[in-house]
């Protein structure tokens, strides 16, 4: 299975655009060509980048790390779009051959890339990227499947209890120990209790606007969303005190052996002591100021303007 997966990865690497270093979203195996040349960090492609980095962590394959770094640089170069007149940014969906914007939406699955950025050690970028999704959560008490960043409005309003934002919040807390992320987790939990709680379980929202519930609860809500929220608040949980495992993209645990961990030195940017202005703990951070964020008020105001959020 590992050899087969590696062969697939080799083929995808060969099929990238050699000028932009981007890959598309859908590859037609029968015709041997890209049927959807849209490149992004969200649905259909998100786990690929995650597994390249985690494969290196697990197996120490230098090719996987090289490929991830190449893709990451390409993503930063071609997809990252700063808001005009401000610092907040988003990652646009672009054409793999040209880097030209293909549409004007970001999807909820792209929140998972924040966790990839944490693992990669690009913590400052992860913190500011996460702020965009936090703003969207405050706007809708959920994450819509798609948000149109040009029109600053929801484009596809379904919310199926996805775990990516909760996962990113948990991983940022683990990396920074900043209580702001526990406050974000509390905000997520409060919204779930208010709008998703049903007679038996938690329901998908047919629309984040109307808050109408569907008679459906995806399995990933229990296996991932609830798991990450639980671990976010149970700071003394044994898993939170170990560093010899990683989560799969579906929230399963994989143990990292000693030999693979020795190869992690290439990634070692010491994210626990990265350049953050505040590294508080819940015990020392005053309760009255626990909502203070690890970014400036000016930055947050710009995020709010970017997504048309009233603050």
DSSP-derived letter for residue 295 is S
How many Å apart are CA 239 and CA 155, to the nearest integer?
38
262 is catalytic: no
Q: Are the CB atoms for 133 and 111 separated by under 8 Å?
A: yes
Residue 177: CB atoms within 10 A of its CB come to 17
How many Å apart are CA 52 and CA 64, to the nearest integer?
5
Q: Look at the chain and count its residues.
A: 311
Q: Are the CB atoms for 220 and 202 separated by under 8 Å?
A: no
Task: State which H helix or E strand residue 99 sits in.
Answer: none
How many Å apart are CA 213 and CA 135, to the nearest integer?
22
Residue 38: CB atoms within 10 A of its CB come to 18
Which of 50, 84, 145, 167 is catalytic? The answer is 145
Query: Quick check: helix, strand or coil at residue 234?
Result: coil
Query: Quick check: helix, strand or coil at residue 63?
Result: helix
Residue 6: CB atoms within 10 A of its CB come to 15
How many Å apart are CA 171 and CA 224, to the nearest integer?
13
Q: In what order do the strands lie in the sheet with 146-148?
A: 105-107, 146-148, 153-156
Q: Which residues belong to the active site?
A: 145
């Amino acid at each position: 299975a590992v050899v087969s997966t590696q062969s697939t990865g080799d083929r995808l690497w060969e099929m990238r655009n050699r000028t932009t270093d981007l890959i598309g979203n859908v590859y037609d195996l029968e015709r041997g060509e890209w049927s959807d040349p849209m490149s992004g960090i969200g649905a259909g492609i998100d786990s690929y980048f995650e597994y390249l980095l985690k494969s290196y962590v697990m197996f120490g394959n230098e090719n996987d790390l090289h490929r991830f770094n190449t893709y990451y640089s390409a993503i930063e170069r071609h997809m990252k779009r700063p808001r005009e007149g401000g610092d907040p940014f988003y990652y646009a969906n672009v054409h793999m051959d040209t880097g030209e914007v293909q549409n004007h939406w970001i999807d909820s699955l792209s929140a998972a890339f924040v966790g990839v950025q944490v693992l990669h050690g690009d913590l400052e970028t992860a913190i500011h990227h996460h702020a965009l999704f936090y703003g969207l959560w405050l706007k809708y008490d959920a994450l819509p499947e798609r948000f149109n960043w040009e029109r600053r409005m929801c484009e596809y309003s379904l919310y199926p209890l996805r775990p990516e934002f909760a996962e990113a919040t948990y991983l940022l807390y683990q990396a920074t120990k900043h209580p702001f992320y526990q406050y974000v987790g509390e905000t997520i939990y409060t919204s779930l209790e208010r709008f998703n709680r049903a007679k038996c379980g938690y329901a998908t929202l047919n629309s984040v606007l109307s808050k109408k519930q569907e008679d459906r609860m995806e399995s990933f809500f229990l296996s991932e969303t609830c798991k990450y929220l639980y671990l976010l608040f149970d700071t003394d949980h044994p898993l939170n005190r170990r560093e010899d495992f990683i989560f799969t993209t579906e929230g399963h645990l994989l143990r990292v052996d000693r030999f693979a961990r020795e190869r992690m030195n290439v990634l070692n940017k010491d994210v626990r002591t990265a350049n953050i202005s505040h590294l508080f703990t819940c015990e020392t951070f005053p309760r009255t100021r626990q909502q203070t964020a690890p970014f400036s008020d000016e930055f947050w105001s710009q995020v709010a303007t970017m997504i048309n959020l009233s603050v």
